[in-house]
């Protein structure tokens, strides 16, 4: 999808004027491909540690075109900087500066990914170096062009770089599935999880429930999970029954009409799953609404429904499913929909931001509850995504919102869905309580 502004400023007189005025000139299209998603090559692995060697060997074994020297290439597809053994800030420059001259040689849609360790509060010099990697990545992400992205994987001390969560995160971030994710970090906190054997159908044999599935981002999530091989249960309010049935027929999914805010909704969901003999491996809590108003004009009829749908229903449904004991699989994956509004706030959205900030705290607490059974809970925080909801924003405000990120364009529902599919995978077992922003590195917030 290319919007009118992008078409005008990419060529001809409009392009010349945009260049003279310093206006945003976004890439025509971000690199989004069908499965399986290959690493954009050639991929250059920088670093001299044993971990760098292990990652290079792993990528080679998966068929990637791996190089260890930038000087040998005229065009670079991906750069992987392995900085897992940094001990002092002075060590960061020799590792990343050789890459500086190659930035202009990056192919359109290039991927830059770092692998490093998180600060622990134990060694000031080492922590400063580790923190420096994060600052480097977030700033580089603002500088890349033509749809290029920069992200990082933080691997907890004691977790090997060959852990399933590390391998899965690298596959995701080096592929086109992460098209609208940039300037972000994924933390792998444990070696839990199992590697995916079938990269074309990573969710084969899994059953997933998506709430708020009838349209928009929810429908995209359902379609993406189905494309990854999952069996789908799609849920939405009775008022969306026609669209829900249409989606269920398309995906051969099981439809459930249910208002998630109604009394006893969780118990009714459990009963519906039992009646159909279904056990859930993946729970995507996507249902959400907005009722925007400046706080000076906020009233209970705008505040209460937003909190009820966006966070209270998530708590109620997850509690009911956990307490039932027989409708969740052995290692359940829960992924909730948060928002960048919950991170940075947004004018006129005190109710929405409160609910989405609550979602992020909720998954952190739920992760601790699920971890003993090998389950996970994480969240995805979309930024400006092209949906029916954002299409209703006044034109000038909408155009500005589209450009306020490093990729200078809005994301698509499938971008959110791809992030959820990764967090729902077996490989993501070592990622717990995280909120992954899918926002093109929105200029507000972290």
Residues identified as active-site: 352
The kind and range of the H/E element at 330 are: strand 328-337
For the chain, counts of helices (H) and of strands (E): 16, 13
Cross-strand pairs, 45: 80
The DSSP annotation for 38-96 comes to ---SSEEEE--SHHHHHHHHHHHHTT--EES-STT-SSEEEEEEEETT--SGGGHHHHH
Alpha helices in 144-264, H assignment, sequence order: 164-173, 216-227, 241-251
Closest CA to 145 of 169, 110, 190, 116: 110
Contact 353, 345 (CB under 8 A): yes
Cα–Cα separations (whole angstroms), residue 276 to 225, 235, 316: 20, 14, 21
Contact 385, 288 (CB under 8 A): no
- Say whether 150 sits in a helix, a strand or coil: strand
Closest CA to 209 of 420, 415, 42, 364: 420
The C-alpha atoms of residue 372 and residue 362 are separated, in whole angstroms, by 17
Q: Do the bridges between strand 207-211 and strand 185-188 make them parallel or antiparallel, or are there none, so unpaired?
A: unpaired
Q: In what order do the strands lie in the sheet with 328-337?
A: 254-257, 231-236, 207-211, 280-285, 328-337, 376-382, 435-438
């Amino acid at each position: 999808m290319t919007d009118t502004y992008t078409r005008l400023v990419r060529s001809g007189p409009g392009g010349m004027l945009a260049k003279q005025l310093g206006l945003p000139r976004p890439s025509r299209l971000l690199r989004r491909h069908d499965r399986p998603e290959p690493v954009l090559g050639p991929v250059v692995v920088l670093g001299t540690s044993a971990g760098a060697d292990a990652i290079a060997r792993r990528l080679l074994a998966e068929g990637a075109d791996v190089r260890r020297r930038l000087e040998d290439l005229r065009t670079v597809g991906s750069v992987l900087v392995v900085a897992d053994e940094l001990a002092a800030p002075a060590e960061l420059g020799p590792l990343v500066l050789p890459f500086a001259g190659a930035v202009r040689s990056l192919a359109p849609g290039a991927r830059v990914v770092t692998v490093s360790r998180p600060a622990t509060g134990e060694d000031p010099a080492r922590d400063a170096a580790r923190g420096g990697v994060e600052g480097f990545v977030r700033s580089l992400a603002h500088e890349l062009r033509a749809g290029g992205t920069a992200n990082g994987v933080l691997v907890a001390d004691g977790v090997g770089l060959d852990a399933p969560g590390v391998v899965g995160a690298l596959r995701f971030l080096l592929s086109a599935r992460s098209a609208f994710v940039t300037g972000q970090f994924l933390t792998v906190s444990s070696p839990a999880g199992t590697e995916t054997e079938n990269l074309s159908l990573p969710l084969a044999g899994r059953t997933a429930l998506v709430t708020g599935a009838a349209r928009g981002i929810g429908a995209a999530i359902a379609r993406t999970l189905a494309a990854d091989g999952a069996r789908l249960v799609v849920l939405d309010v009775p008022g969306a029954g026609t669209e829900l049935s249409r989606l269920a027929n398309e995906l051969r999914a099981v439809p459930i009409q249910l208002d998630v805010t109604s009394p006893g909704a969780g118990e009714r969901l459990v009963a519906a799953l039992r009646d159909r003999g279904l056990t859930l491996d993946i729970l995507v809590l996507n249902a959400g609404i907005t009722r925007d108003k400046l706080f000076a004009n906020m009233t209970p009829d705008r505040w209460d429904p937003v909190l009820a749908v966006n966070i209270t229903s998530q708590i109620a449904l997850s509690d009911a499913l956990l307490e039932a004991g027989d409708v969740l699989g052995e290692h359940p994956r829960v992924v909730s929909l948060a928002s960048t509004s919950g991170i940075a706030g947004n004018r006129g959205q005190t109710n929405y931001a409160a609910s989405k900030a609550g979602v992020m705290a909720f998954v952190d607490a739920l992760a601790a509850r699920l971890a003993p059974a090998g389950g996970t809970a994480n969240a995805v925080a979309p930024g400006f995504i092209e949906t029916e909801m954002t299409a209703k924003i006044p034109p000038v405000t909408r155009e500005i919102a589209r450009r306020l990120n490093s990729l200078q364009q809005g994301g698509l529902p499938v971008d959110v869905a791809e992030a959820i599919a990764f967090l729902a995978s077996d490989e993501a077992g070592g990622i717990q309580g995280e909120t992954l922003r899918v926002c093109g590195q929105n200029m507000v917030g972290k």
